[in-house]
């Protein structure tokens, strides 16, 4: 009688662990799918800065850009749900910034050099 109860308990425990494993696999697939869809392609851009030619890439932090390019001449802060920041550099023109670098939540999003 006790052996039968132990056997039924073990079978129930085994089924429960199989269900747990299936749930864990589904959760891992869902999380890995979300991460893959969030990944963006990193683009490398060579720009002419104050310190010469430098290579920047999307996703780069503001501190890294400041080290490579230098202190910006103009900084504009905007916020539309995300923290947006635009930096302007006067490289060849003393009046209008000819290098614009745009950040979103502290990471390089895009840039334009005239």
Q: What is the mean pLDDT of each run of 10 residues along the chain (114 residues)?
A: 53 59 69 56 84 89 91 88 88 88 92 87
pLDDT at 15 (0 to 100): 57
- Same-domain check for residues 3 and 50: no
- Same-domain check for residues 19 and 52: no
Work out how many domains the chain is built from and give that number.
2
**Chain centre distance of CA 81:** 16
Tokens of 70: 């230098």
- Same-domain check for residues 106 and 52: yes
Residue 33, exposed/middle/buried by CB under 10 A (0-12, 13-18, 19+)?
Answer: exposed
The SS3 assignment for 9 reads: helix
- Same-domain check for residues 26 and 56: no
Location of structure tokens 């550099």: 89
Sign of CA dihedral 107, 101, 54, 51: negative
pLDDT at 61 (0 to 100): 93
Location of structure tokens 């490398």: 44
- Same-domain check for residues 20 and 1: yes
What residues pair up with 45 in beta bridges, in sequence order?
Answer: 56
């Amino acid at each position: 009688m006790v052996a039968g109860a132990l056997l039924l308990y073990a079978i129930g425990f085994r089924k429960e662990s199989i269900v747990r494993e299936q749930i864990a696999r589904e959760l891992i697939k869902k999380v890995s799918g979300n991460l893959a869809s969030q990944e963006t392609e990193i683009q490398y851009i060579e720009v002419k800065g104050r310190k010469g030619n430098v290579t920047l890439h999307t996703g780069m932090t503001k501190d890294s850009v400041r080290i490579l390019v230098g202190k910006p001449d103009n900084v504009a802060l905007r916020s539309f749900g995300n923290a947006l920041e635009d930096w302007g550099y006067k490289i060849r023109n003393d009046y209008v910034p000819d290098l614009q670098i745009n950040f979103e939540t502290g990471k390089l999003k895009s840039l334009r050099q005239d």
